Chains A and B, each alone.
Chain A
Amino acid sequence: MPINVRIPSPLMKLTNNQGEVSAEGKNIGEVLSDLERQYPGIRERLYDENGSLRRFINIYKNEEDIRFLDGESTPTKDGDEISIIPAIAGGSIKNVRF
């Protein structure tokens, strides 16, 4: 069940310079774990030492911030698009390019 994940340019070093990758999982947390399995090192960029998602990393499911869905428990399904966006970019993801 592949889910499309968009990677911001500062993290593309970890994904062999791919701006979009596929991952699997029934929710956001699982998708991010699958990312770490495929691209070791990405997890510590997304999570702090306490295992919480970093405050200035925004994760969107189909353009909705997961903080206003169910966070990491937000369910994911085939065809969903997940975007990882550093907060410095600001605002809705539609206009953000890296």
Chain B
Amino acid sequence: MGFVKGLQCKECKRSYAKKPIHVCEFCFGPLEIVYDYEGIKEAISRDSIEAGPKSIWRYRELLPIDGEPTVGKHVGFTPLLRGENLGKVLGLTNLYIKNDSVNHPTLSFKDRVVSVAVTKAKEFGYDTVACASTGNLANSVAAHAAEAGLKSYIFIPSDLESGKVLGTLIYGTTLVGVRGNYDDVNRLCSEIAANYKWAFVNITIRPYYGDGSKTFGYEIAEQLGWRAPDHIIVPVAGSSLITKVWMALKEFEQLGLIDTVKTKIYAAQATGCSPVTTAIKNGAEFIKPVKPHTIAKSIAIGNPADGYYGIKTVVESGGYGEDVSDEEIVEGMKLLARTEGIFTETAGGVTVSVTKKLIEQGRIKRDDLTVISITGNGLKTQEAVENSIGELTVIDPRIGSFQKTFNIEEEK
């Protein structure tokens, strides 16, 4: 049993049946899932959720599947940890870190959307899944396709980090490197999707896929003791996650699971690919597409699919958008690692350094309840930091060699 009533155009509100479609055929707006919130309100409570599995499926009634989850049963419910050490450095007393760098199974928040999308693809009867990806999605689609026993075709820019290439190939997929940036890959995939009966998770079945991201927001609210924080800082690529985190909090509010939401949502981007934060700073409603040039490849999308809604989320919530240089990204990665022991990927460095900037600007105050979103793992983007974190010191296997090298006196 599920609570999905159908699909609806986000723009002109035309209704559609529950099918693998993603665009309104009348006005070309994106489609979204329509839920039976009254039914959901009767079916769930804080207690029932807390009694559920320690995974995203504890929020199953709020996810767009009809049957039981068949793939990715252990995804989500990642740690929300108190960032006391990082907070001291940044000047915050009430800082939390939502840590999806340890999400199961492929170490990024993308496992949330993919477990929902692949479960849905199986419900629709597809035998092949596919995606356009900057890397994390590639890893996750390949892994979940393997688990589901489905074929997969994965399209990425040909210059991705080697960890992301290897971390996709291992699952036995067909990995295609496209000569071009993500926006070129995405455009090509739109054409391919129109010609093949494959479930392109972030194209053909995007409305279902996208709602998996809501669980990131649900978990933050639940793990904070059923309350919404003052601020959430979210790294932005296509702008799907940021809109869904906001939607998640609003849904919890509507369902009476948390009090009135006053959370401000902030978009974090790399300056080398900042169409969303630039629009926010300029007070523009529309994205001006850019050609990405940044080490934060996982969020290097120059023409974000949900950019308009990303801007709207930030403006509606009273947040802001900021971006940081490649040097600041590396500093952010090192800072998180050296204060909290969390090795995040470049996108996490973006989030940490943008948070620092927002504090300096006075937008986030010392005692505000603040959550930073860490969405990926640093082991996948080692190239970004390999020349800036010191190097291995090699010694002979003798205590004299150790003492001579480090000049440390013996402790008696």
Contacts and interface: CB of A to CB of B under 8 A. Distances in A.
Interface string B8-33: 00011000000000111111111000
DSSP class of A's interface residues: helix, strand, loop or mixed?
mixed
B286 interface: yes
B191 A97 contact: yes
Nearest to A90: B187
B26 A45 contact: yes
A41 B23 CA distance: 20
Given A54-B28, A56-B28, A56-B29, A90 B305 contact: yes
Most buried by B among A48, A88, A90: A90
Interface residues of A, number: 20
A88 B27 contact: no
Contacts of B30: 56, 88
B261 to A, nearest CB: 25
A81 B183 CA distance: 24
B12 to A, nearest CB: 7
A95 interface: yes
Contacts of A56: 11, 24, 27-30
A45 B9 CA distance: 14
Contacts of A96: 187
Contact of A88 (B12, B28, B183, B289): B28
A10 interface: yes
A51 B302 CA distance: 29
A86 B190 contact: no
Interface of A: 10, 45, 48, 54-57, 65, 67-68, 86-92, 95-97
Given A10-B28, A57-B27, 18 more contacts: A54-B29, A56-B11, A56-B24, A57-B28, A86-B23, A88-B23, A88-B30, A89-B190, A90-B183, A90-B186, A90-B187, A90-B190, A91-B184, A91-B187, A91-B289, A91-B303, A92-B289, A95-B184
